[in-house]
Structure 1
């Protein structure tokens, strides 16, 4: 957590979520005590239209006007799409509009006090959006969610080999590699990752992450998949591995193990990001040995060296399956303002991913990051806690690539 001046609440912001709205913590065993919810805000207890295994409607043909569908008919999908265009936060003519969702120069802002000063709030469609350098924070249904610039990490790696172009309402970026490979990323106007793939010199393209197969973008709370906590039948220390003192074999086992319970269907990356009980289907490694300075999201060299064991395990897993995807999750304790904790945790998770690539050559396309702030406390305390200030790494490949043949794009 980061002590400091609180973020000014938006008009009408409640003091906290309704009693009972906190979902079980992702790493909690059945029956374990949960945070009391007074500050530990999590995903909504219910999510309209969120159906496990049914991510959404098929994507409509792009460019078709409502009265020019192939069959010449207008239906509710056209109306939904047009409504979303009118009501979405980041569209031309709306307050705070930025093509692609983010400004490229935002990545150079490393001073957290400046990040705080640069925050701007907008209200659209009954939701509050807080735009800050490189991030959009959404306050919706008494919960906070954060979306970051999906390309920032790739620009940091090699600006000379990085380029981007606009295609309609999408931004396509390319990271060129020695040997002729390309990493191609597509984001929409809200900065939402749609697709990330690896393109080879011979023209073959392997999709690593397809976040758009579930249909049109939805409000974040509709991507929350409500599931019961998994029935954990393995020892606790194998389900959540404590990184401090763990050897590479133990870490590797946790990061390559199958789901602890069967997975039904295939989910989008956004559903995985925002659904704690869905993520809880996979084992994880908790790293609480990385200590960030107050108000900082920089990994110092001595701290970075501590990531060598998990980097070796991830690299071995990717050598065995080049399509593996690992989610790096950032958490804080409950000290400080909610928005500060959420922003810092997201930036710290991204910093860890950058270090894994720059210092240990972990392929960046196989990593994705998400911050959760003080949500899902590991230790139920509102005070300072090292165990709550952690980074968690888990394999999410079976969740987002269920049913795909290895080496082939999603169908």
Structure 2
């Protein structure tokens, strides 16, 4: 862990610029990933403004916010990942909300609902019969909670072996990978948390075991995953697909990290792009449903190797199951049978 305090997000984060019509064009399977793969390609396109006492930095695909204390956090639009293999993409406006409907070749749909400020509200899978499963509901707020997205909990008491709490993918056999991807919280979850609370509250995320994908690391300043490293993610993808087949409502958070070299703004952008690269690859190469994955970058906040110098170990990605955090620890519900409406 880094010795710097985590960002305490108490006000909404500005949305990245909305995707253009061209950016929402479906991508056919097999099409190469486009766009730059190194950070220096974006630095010259950044735009910095002052909003409500905070510094807001806009760059292609990302918005980075620096609060008055100097802490920073990042946000991006995940719709890019849903273009792959889509048959059609439609955008509708309804009561101030934006509904982006991705139609897949089999006729099923993924519906992403966002608020006027760009914040994700709900993500829904709708089958060809019209039955819906809510994958993510980001509208929940605890009436007793004070502030915004940051939740401060005491450190959990870890009663399992540490190597089963933070699992090294390089050393773990497939059965341990799968067991970790369906493992329960290490302590009782006291309430439901919104996705934003999970993203921005490390003490909430620590309730769930995680897997360090140390089979892949990144070159300095890059989020590109080479073919030789991509193949090493097969066992993780197999575990994710198996877990999602077991419970179609599972949600997994892919977290990106950097070493301590460079400035906070660069590292936040870089880590967020690394997490998104892994999520994209999981869908495009291994068929993991895009709607069951979400990603977030944390820059250099959580160093695995405590050094301020270059560190390949710190340029990494982590994955953890967050379903129990989103549903308050409720038991997984099976998908409804044909002809039966799901719970809403």
> What's the TM-score bracket when you normalise by the shorter of the two chains?
0.7 to 0.9
Q: Tell which deviates more after alignment, 333-342 or 190-199.
A: 190-199
Gaps of 5+ in 1: 1-24, 26-34, 50-83, 91-96
Q: Which residue of 1 aligns with 2:88?
A: 161
1:292 to 1:105, Cα distance in 2 relative to 1, 3 A: farther
SS in structure 1 of the partner of residue 78 of structure 2: coil
For the 8 Å contact 2:149–2:196, the answer to whether it is kept is: yes
For the 8 Å contact 1:331–1:372, the answer to whether it is kept is: yes
The 1-side partners of 2:14 and 2:257 are apart by 26
Q: How does 1:376-387 map to 2 (within 5 A)?
A: 376-387=302-313
For the 8 Å contact 1:147–1:192, the answer to whether it is kept is: no
Q: How does 1:66-105 map to 2 (within 5 A)?
A: 98=17, 100=18, 102-103=19-20
Q: Which residue of 2 aligns with 1:274?
A: 200
The 2-side partners of 1:328 and 1:125 are apart by 30
Q: Is 2:78 the partner of 1:150?
A: yes
The 2-side partners of 1:337 and 1:126 are apart by 21
For the 8 Å contact 2:124–2:132, the answer to whether it is kept is: yes
Q: Deviations over 1:336-386 (max 9, x none)?
A: 111111101101111101111111111111000000010121222211222
1:48 to 1:342, Cα distance in 2 relative to 1, 3 A: closer
Q: Which residue of 2 aligns with 1:43?
A: 7
- The TM-score with structure 2 as length reference comes to 0.87
Q: Deviations over 1:293-346 (max 9, x none)?
A: 332222221111010000011111111111110000000110111111110110
Q: How does 1:7-406 map to 2 (within 5 A)?
A: 25=1, 35-37=2-4, 42-44=6-8, 98=17, 100=18, 102-103=19-20, 109-110=35-36, 111-140=38-67, 141-155=69-83, 157-158=84-85, 160-167=87-94, 169-214=96-141, 222-402=148-328, 403=330, 406=333
CA shift, 1:200, in A, is 1.5
The 2-side partners of 1:390 and 1:180 are apart by 36
Matched length: 325
RMSD (Å), alpha carbons: 2.6
CA shift, 1:213, in A, is 2.6
- The TM-score with structure 1 as length reference comes to 0.73
CA shift, 1:207, in A, is 0.4
Gaps of 5+ in 2: 25-33, 337-341
